[in-house]
Structure 1
Amino acid sequence: MDDIVTTSGMLAICDLDDIVPDTGVCALVNGDQVAVFRIGERELYAIDNVDPHAAASVLSRGLVGSLAGRVVVASPIYKQHFDLRTGECLEAPEHSVRAWAVRLEGNTVVLGRPER
């Protein structure tokens, strides 16, 4: 999808149907790699895609699930868990990543700025 800024000022990433439920995809936004996750039918989360432990762009390919009541992704390399709501690394909070504003506008997944 070309860079399309919506009337809300957010960037259109893809259609919801382009993301298989309970998986993630990677989007390049102004030079930043962002992992966008679809949980269930319509729940969306977005965090930085670079795993700070491995210095690799892999978080969008991690396994999603829940841990202690939190929705998380497990990095495919060293298996640290990142909270999809906040970007916090549960095993090493000093290696947390940014969470991004993400939502649906119609059937389009749109991203805003990082939340921290």
Structure 2
Amino acid sequence: MNQDRVPRAWQAVCPLDEIVPNTGVCALVDGEQVAVFHVNDGHAHAAVYAIENFDPGSQAAVLSRGLIGSLGERVVVASPIYKHHFDLRTGECLETPAYSVSAFDTRVENGQVWVAV
């Protein structure tokens, strides 16, 4: 989660099984487009991440449609337009740190994905 964002509340997004593993979806969270990703390593270890959906490099709301992968120990999404890589844990843009986006805390409870707002 971005250090200057303190969660006020949690918002339900959708059931986890409605997000295809290793893809993302766009959700409206507290009036803001958020890219929510379901990352599964193939061994029943699932994680959920959420970052802003807006890609500052392309000026388009497209990050939820990016390709998930890893660079070293980092789990990232590659923007579908200019292929900038965003760390799903922190929102940091690896190629251009000035393009970094906010990251949000997530949790899965009773099969439901929740995002901190």
Question: What is the percentage of aligned positions where both structures have the same residue?
Answer: 61
The equivalent residue for 1:20 is 20
List runs of 5+ in structure 2 lacking aligned partners.
1-8
CA distance in 2, matches of 1:59, 1:22: 13
- Structure 1 residue 69: deviation in Å? 1.5
The equivalent residue for 2:10 is 10
Choose the corresponding residue for 1:101, options 98, 102, 105: 105
| Count, aligned residues | 106
Root-mean-square deviation (Å): 1.3
TM-score by length of 2: 0.87
CA distance in 2, matches of 1:32, 1:53: 18
Paired letter, 1:65: G
- Structure 1 residue 30: deviation in Å? 2.3
Structure 1 position 69 matched with structure 2 position 93 = no
The equivalent residue for 2:64 is 60
Paired letter, 1:70: R
TM-score by length of 1: 0.88
List runs of 5+ in structure 1 lacking aligned partners.
1-8
Paired letter, 2:110: G
The equivalent residue for 1:33 is 33
SS at match of 1:110: strand
CA distance in 1, matches of 2:30, 2:114: 14
CA distance in 2, matches of 1:69, 1:104: 23
CA distance in 1, matches of 2:30, 2:16: 21
